[in-house]
């Protein structure tokens, strides 16, 4: 059964492409969009999580979801999967460039060039490739919405010691989103970037902490209740609410914006 919004399904007849769709924010957004009528192309590395997401969504509305095995840092695999998704669903209208990793966390002098490149390749190159290969299909439909998941880290705050590669990639996403918003405005393609704070996801599974991390960490007394709007980290579904708003016609005059969703976390430190 579809969830109806303001008298109808907001995304009926539309297709959303979501990277990092196997868990966390990507999964929550895919489920919500499917409930509101969208077909969803689920991009992630093939594993049990992405297949389970596909099953859950197709149980909501049969045939509305398809999982694609994609490494978003690989241009060949991204382009191939985009073309397959377009052929299957008939076009693209919404792009949620959400996939990302924390990567290796540690002192700059201990990071190898491979560590650095892996984080930037996944987070920044992956965003570029996702947008690059989907733009032609948005243009064919006369416009669309692109949403990019960045972070408060690298934009609003810089207290995550050892995350130089991650923070650099997240700041880069902001610059890319703003340039893309200007470039694509005349094609009626909107581009916005979101800054989540601490959200309950499994991104920490990809994090590798260096032994030298203790040497560069400056002791910080974090305030009690560092999520003023909640009792703990935000939930993926709360971010999904923001993404679906930015994907919908209700935000049709919003582009080039960066929107913080962190329960006031970044205002404290």
- Report which DSSP code applies to 220: -
Residue 166 bears catalytic tag: yes
Taking the CA atoms of 183, 189, 190 and 196 in sequence, report the sign of the dihedral they define: negative
Cα–Cα nearest to 241, from 191, 203, 188, 196: 196
Dihedral-angle region of residue 144 (phi above 0 means left; psi in -120 to 50 means alpha; beta otherwise): left
How far apart, in whole angstroms, are the C-alpha atoms of residue 31 and residue 91?
A: 19
Classify residue 5 by burial, with Cβ atoms within 10 Å: 0-12, 13-18, 19+: middle
CA 208 remoteness from chain centre: 21
What are the tokens at 115?
């560590």
Taking the CA atoms of 143, 144, 145 and 148 in sequence, report the sign of the dihedral they define: negative
Q: Which residues of 22-36 are buried (b: 16+ CB within 10 A; e: fewer)?
A: bbbbbbbbbbbbbbb
How far apart, in whole angstroms, are the C-alpha atoms of residue 101 and residue 203?
A: 6
Catalytic residue among 5, 133, 166, 195: 166
How far apart, in whole angstroms, are the C-alpha atoms of residue 45 and residue 76?
A: 14
Rounded CA Rg of the chain: 18
Contact 242, 194 (CB under 8 A): yes
User: Catalytic residues, which ones?
Assistant: 166
């Amino acid at each position: 059964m579809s969830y109806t919004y303001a008298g109808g399904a907001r995304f009926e007849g539309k297709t959303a492409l979501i990277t990092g769709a196997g868990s966390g924010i990507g999964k929550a957004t895919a489920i919500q969009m499917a409930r509101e009528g969208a077909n969803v192309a689920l991009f992630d590395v093939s594993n049990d999580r992405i297949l389970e997401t596909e099953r859950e969504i197709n149980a909501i509305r049969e045939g509305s979801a398809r999982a694609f095995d994609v490494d978003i840092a690989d241009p060949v695999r991204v382009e191939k999967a985009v073309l397959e998704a377009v052929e299957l669903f008939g076009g693209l209208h919404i792009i949620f460039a959400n996939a990302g990793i924390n990567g290796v966390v540690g002192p700059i002098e201990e990071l190898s060039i491979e560590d650095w490149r892996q984080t930037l390749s996944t987070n920044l190159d992956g965003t570029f490739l996702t947008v690059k290969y989907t733009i032609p299909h948005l243009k064919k439909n006369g416009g669309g919405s692109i949403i990019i998941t960045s972070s408060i880290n690298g934009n609003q705050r810089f207290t995550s010691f050892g995350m130089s590669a991650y923070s650099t990639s997240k700041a880069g996403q902001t610059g890319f989103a703003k340039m893309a918003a200007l470039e694509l405005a005349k094609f009626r393609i909107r581009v916005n970037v979101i800054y989540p704070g601490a959200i309950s996801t499994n991104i920490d599974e990809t994090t590798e902490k260096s032994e030298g991390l203790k040497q560069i960490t400056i002791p910080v007394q974090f305030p009690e209740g560092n999520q003023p709007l909640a009792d703990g980290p935000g939930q993926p579904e709360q971010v999904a609410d923001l993404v679906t708003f930015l994907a919908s016609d209700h935000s049709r005059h919003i582009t080039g914006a960066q929107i913080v969703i962190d329960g006031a976390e970044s205002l404290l430190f």
